[in-house]
Amino acid sequence: KVVTIAKSKKFRDHHGKVLLEGQRLIKDALEAGAALQTLFFSTVGHLKELPEAELKRASLVKVKFEDIKNWSDLVTPQGLIGIFSKPDHAKMSYPAAQLTSSLPLLLICDNIRDPGNLGTILRSAAGAGCEKVLLTKGCVDPWEPKVLRAGMGAHFRLPIIANLDWESVPSNLPAGIQVCVADNKDPSAQAETVSVPRGAGRAGSAPGSPKAPVKSKPKAAPEDEEGAAGVCIPDLATQYYYENWTQTPVAGGIGGETHGLSPAAFHLAASTGGRRLVIPVVPGVDSLNSAIAAGIVLFEGKRQLLRRHKQADERQKVPVV
């Protein structure tokens, strides 16, 4: 049963359970209010660092380390595996330090199908002080063990709302938000050629800096895996990521490396007055890893928002004559 929870998304969803392994991840989950059902441990010493009150509500099962080793897919198992009720972001108690550092900055992930990439993106989002992360149905399950390991506790530091269809994404965003999407086309090349956004979420190439944001032309995407042919991509101003793009609040959209962002992501960006953001790289380099691109966009957004807040504070301190 332990192995099944770890390996099968269908089983996790049907039974409403997730599996967490290792002392740090289990401790983070307990402190955030996740409900522990069963804890398997190999030595009593593993329990000493965990909140005692939370352990009293769970079933504690001492097993041989060899059993945990067989169940685990870690290279070096820690001798501690917990089965939790699937956490509800609305009922979690996120760390006070995380909440006080939170910015009006959100992240929308689309078609991120590599577990390591998604976990790294979630870790970056927590580190940047994101308000929350939205995951569309095209993303890998955030409760998959590889995503949890790469996230390093990010799942219990900020709200992660998964399995959203694009119709429900706007209802999970604050009013007045601007959505900007990471793209892999250079602004200086937009006037000459327009290509299909298959690599949205990957950073583009080509040097140079445009004098002003360039509008990309409406175009039709080719038939994709779902068979949707001739999908129109709306106009979006294109600019480099280090140019000013932050409003309050703002969301960044990141797509997977293979499928990129869905056309719906570009429509959402257009409806909010958003832009395409390009990370310029050396010519000949096709693109950046989606997790790296997300980190660059997130921390640049953080830098811009903090600078904006600092300028606002300084204006308030100037005496009015």
Angle at 186 between CA 181 and CA 190, to 5 degrees: 100
Given a cut of 70, whether residue 308 has pLDDT beyond it is: yes
320 or 36: whose pLDDT is higher? 36
Residue (of 200, 293, 287, 277) closest to 239 by Cα position: 277
H or E stretch including 310? helix 290-317
Residue (of 84, 35, 80) closest to 57 by Cα position: 35
200-222: per-residue pLDDT in tens? 444 433 334 444 444 544 444 44
Cβ neighbours, 10 Å, residue 22: 21
Given a cut of 60, whether residue 303 has pLDDT beyond it is: yes
The answer for 111, left when phi > 0, alpha when psi is -120 to 50, beta otherwise, is left
Q: What is the residue-averaged pLDDT of the chain? A: 85
Whether the CB-CB separation of 136 and 200 falls below 8 Å is answered with no
Whether the CB-CB separation of 274 and 238 falls below 8 Å is answered with no
Query: 200 φ, ψ to 5°?
Result: -55, 135
Domains in the chain with CATH codes: 1-93 (3.30.1330.30), 109-186+234-317 (3.40.1280.10)
Range among 139-153, 180-194, 282-296, 305-319 rated most confident: 139-153
For 175, counting Cβ atoms within 10 Å of its Cβ (0-12 exposed, 13-18 middle, 19+ buried), the class is exposed
H or E stretch including 304? helix 290-317
CA dist 6 to 18, 21, 42, 93, 148, Å?
7, 10, 19, 24, 11
Whether the CB-CB separation of 168 and 142 falls below 8 Å is answered with no
- Provide mean pLDDT across the span 150-154: 96
235-276: per-residue pLDDT in tens? 899 999 999 999 889 999 999 988 889 999 999 999 999 999
Reading the block at residue 7, the tokens are 């390996």
34-81: per-residue pLDDT in tens? 999 999 999 999 999 899 999 999 999 999 999 999 888 888 899 999
Please enumerate in sequence order all residues whose Cβ is within 8 A of that of 48, keeping only pairs 6 or more positions apart, or say none. Answer: none
Residue (of 281, 136, 140, 261) closest to 207 by Cα position: 281
| Torsion angle in degrees (nearest 10) through CA of 117, 121, 123, 125 | 180
Reading the block at residue 121, the tokens are 């993106």
Peptide bond before 249: cis, by omega within 30 degrees of 0?
A: yes
Residue with tokens 């959402």, as numbered in its chain: 268
For 313, counting Cβ atoms within 10 Å of its Cβ (0-12 exposed, 13-18 middle, 19+ buried), the class is exposed
- Provide mean pLDDT across the span 139-163: 96
pLDDT score of 228:
47
